[in-house]
Amino acid sequence: MEDHSLEKKYSKFIAIVSIIIPVAVAILFTVKLKDFGFDVEPLSFLPPIYAAINGITAIVLILAVIAIKKGNQKIHERLMTSAIALSVAFLVMYVAYHMTADSTKFGGEGIIKYVYFFILITHILLSIAIIPLVLITYVRALAKRFDRHRKIARITFPLWLYVAITGVVVYLMISPYYV
């Protein structure tokens, strides 16, 4: 049975979260714990872990689409919930790393520098845009509004997959320049 009120109930929450997360990440990205007197070592082990989480997220998203195309709604639901959990884990690690370490400058030159910045900028912009899309898509599924869920999922899936894959690509391109 469809639940129209569930979508309405969560619409403000989705709007608030979609604003708070990018703003909080932007602010926390500039906050360094050492500036507040905390003697913490940079969490330099995190970038390969959160890059791997992005890669796993991409695989989970693909498996979720395969599952639903085969009619396995329960597996699809579990995989999509896992993809959201992976994205949250990524976000926590990403912020933790950047609160303990200085930003790494990309050292490539020539055309590769432009390729890197194109991928990085599109990755960042779409990672912001994907937040409300994922939440709306998920709530529509929870509300059993599958017609509306499918309609937005056709947009959400490729964008989320792009964000997950480019997260790995950005890491691979910048990792030689980590101190």
| Structural domains of the chain, with CATH | 4-9+43-177 (1.20.120.80)
Q: Determine the length of the chain.
A: 179
Q: Which residues have C-beta within 8 Å of that of residue 49, sequence separation ≥ 6?
A: 93
pLDDT for res 126: 97
pTM greater than 0.75: yes
What would the two tokens of residue 153 be? Answer: 């999922």
pLDDT at 46: 94
Give the whole-angstrom CA distance, residue 61 versus residue 68.
Answer: 11
Whether the Cβ atoms of residue 83 and residue 61 lie closer than 8 Å to each other: yes
Residues 55-107: tens digit of each pLDDT: 999 999 999 999 999 999 999 999 999 999 999 999 999 999 988 988 889 99
Output phi, psi for 122, to 5 deg: -65, -35
* Predicted pLDDT of residue 41: 83
pLDDT in tens, 104-151: 899 999 999 999 999 999 999 999 999 999 999 999 999 999 999 999
Cα separation, 29 vs 97, in Å, equals: 9
| Residue 5: predicted pLDDT | 80
